[in-house]
Structure formats: structure tokens, C-alpha cells
Amino acid sequence: MRKPIMAGNWKMNKTRDEALEFVYQVQDALPSKEKVETIICAPSIILRDLVKRQGDNLRIGAQNMHEKDSGAYTGEISALMLKSTEVEYVIIGHSERRQYFNETDESVNAKVKKALEVGLKPIVCCGELLEQRENGTTHEVLDTQISKAFADVCEDSLSNVIIAYEPVWAIGTGKVASPEMADEACGYIRSLVEKLYSKKAANEIRILYGGSVSTKSVNELMAQPNIDGGLVGGASLKADSFIELCNACVK
């Protein structure tokens, strides 16, 4: 059985004080690590402070990294720098990075490989635009994103990989995908993993849904067979709703 994951993506939100207050508020109310893998992906400047205060039931991740080891890339952060803060996870290829920072399937692939090389667990994002959903090319888009993201990634590494299906039209819009639609897409991604690797890999990999997940929609989403958890933006910012989301993942 796949252990559920609830991951908050704070994006560019929270000062250090606000972040520490959040951890203080949620710590004792989150489910145990045996039941749910609970993650907060925070702005890089506060990662170390959060890592120092994380517990077994709340782990910390970053939101991005550069694929090169070091060099003249002003403002960027390498995988080894993240590793040195002792974070465990890193989001890679979020649609906001693809849209505003020109990330491509090729850079996503380079980042996934680098993250795995240094021992970070990548949360690899994919998902279609509204026009792609409307013109019926969602499967093609997912096909390309997944096959390129995992080019030259070996099956042994997959136990450290999480995939997040985030339809771009559902992110921050309040328009959550229906549970059936989200499950169909996550099931399709699982079939791609089977095609690229094996049935075992497809059965074991955790696939999250992201896009306007809220305390109202989480139960139905989590009841779907192919959805193993959520990658949540807005609803992860408040302690009480994050606690509710995490508890909704307990199966």
C-alpha cells in the first residue's frame, strides 16, 4: 500500500516569524509519520530554520533548485546547498516556474537527475493548460512531460520520486478538477510509468493531485484509487486548514 502524502507548497509566502509560528501551531496536531508523509515546501531563505524545528511528522522541502553544481548563476541555489540545509524534498518543474521562469522539460529532467544524485527527493510536477484540456490533448501533454522528465532516470531511483499532477487551470483559481477527472489523469500518469519502467514501479510510485485543493474537496479526492495525496498551495498557508488536510489523508 502506498503511504499518503500531504505536501504544502507555500510559494512566495510567509516571513521567517510567520513560518515558525505555523510550525508551532501544527506540530502536535498532525498525523504520525506512519500514517501520512507530511511536507512543507518553503521559501529557501527559511529552510534551515524550519528543518531545525521539524519533527518526524513534519518534513521540509524546497520549491526549486538549479541543475548545475556551482558557478556564475546569480541568485540561484544548487542541489548540494539544499542538501546542506538537510531538507529532504524539492519541487521540480512547477507550472509557475515553467510559465514565469522559462523552465522546460529538458531543465526539469536535468534537475530531477541532479536532485536524485545528491539524495534529495524530487516532487516532479506535470499538468496541462486549459486550452490543452479543451482541445483534448491532455494525454499527449502528460506523455511528453513525463517521458522527458524521467529520461535517463533509472528504476531504482523511483522510490525516491513523487509525481504531482497539477492541471494549470486549477491552480489558484478555485476551480478544482472533479475527483473523477483528477483520478483519470493520475491513472494515466501511472500507466506511463508502467510503460517507461514496470508494473511494480507504477504500483509503488506516489502521485499527488494539486490545484485548488481545499478542506471541502480533499476527502473526495483522497478517496480516488490513483490519488495518493495532495500538493496544496493556498489551503496550506493556514495552520487549521493544513491540519485538516493532513488528517483527511489518513486511510
List, as own/partner pairs, every contact residues 55-61 make where C-beta atoms lie below 8 angstroms and the sequence separation is at least 24, other chains included. 55/27, 56/32, 57/27, 57/30, 57/31, 57/32, 57/33, 58/23, 58/26, 58/27, 58/30, 59/88, 59/89, 60/87, 60/88, 60/89, 61/7, 61/87, 61/88, 61/89, 61/90, 61/91, 61/121, 61/123
Q: Applying CB under 6 A, what is the total number of residues that bind ligand 13P?
A: 14
With CB atoms as reference, the residue minimizing the distance to ligand 13P is: 233
CB of 35 to ligand 13P, least distance (A): 22
Nearer to ligand 13P, 31 or 127 (CB): 127
Nearest CA among 192, 114, 224 for reference residue 160: 114
Q: Which of 88, 94, 96, 128 is catalytic?
A: 94
Q: Which residues 191-230 are close enough to bind ligand 13P by CB under 6 A?
A: 210-213
Give how far Cα 122 sits from Cα of 90, 111, 112, 157, 217, Å: 5, 9, 6, 10, 25
Q: Work out whether 127 is an interface residue with ligand 13P (CB under 6 A).
A: no
C-alpha cell at 4: 499518503
CB of 168 to ligand 13P, least distance (A): 9
Q: Work out whether 231 is an interface residue with ligand 13P (CB under 6 A).
A: yes
CB of 232 to ligand 13P, least distance (A): 5
Q: Work out whether 119 is an interface residue with ligand 13P (CB under 6 A).
A: no
Locate cell 529557501: which residue? 44
Determine the 3-state secondary structure of 1 from DSSP.
Answer: coil
Stretch that binds ligand 13P, among 25-33, 44-52, 74-82, 232-240 (CB under 6 A): 232-240
CB of 95 to ligand 13P, least distance (A): 7
Q: Which residues 9-48 are close enough to bind ligand 13P by CB under 6 A?
A: 9
Nearer to ligand 13P, 119 or 172 (CB): 172
Locate cell 472533479: which residue? 178
Map residues 55-94 to x or -, x wherever contact with ligand 13P holds by CB under 6 A: ---------------------------------------x
CB of 37 to ligand 13P, least distance (A): 16
Q: Cα–Cα distance between 3 and 71 in angstroms, integer? A: 38
Dump the DSSP string for 74-126. Answer: TT--BHHHHHHTT--EEEES-HHHHHHS---HHHHHHHHHHHHHHT-EEEEEE
Active site residue 94: yes
Map residues 151-180 to x or -, x wherever contact with ligand 13P holds by CB under 6 A: ---------------x----xx--------
For residue 50, the surrounding DSSP H or E stretch is helix 47-53
CB of 123 to ligand 13P, least distance (A): 9
Nearest CA among 3, 4, 65 for reference residue 209: 4
By annotation, the residues acting in catalysis are 94, 166
- Judged by the rule CB under 6 A, the positions of this chain that interact with ligand 13P are 9, 94, 166, 171-172, 210-213, 231-235
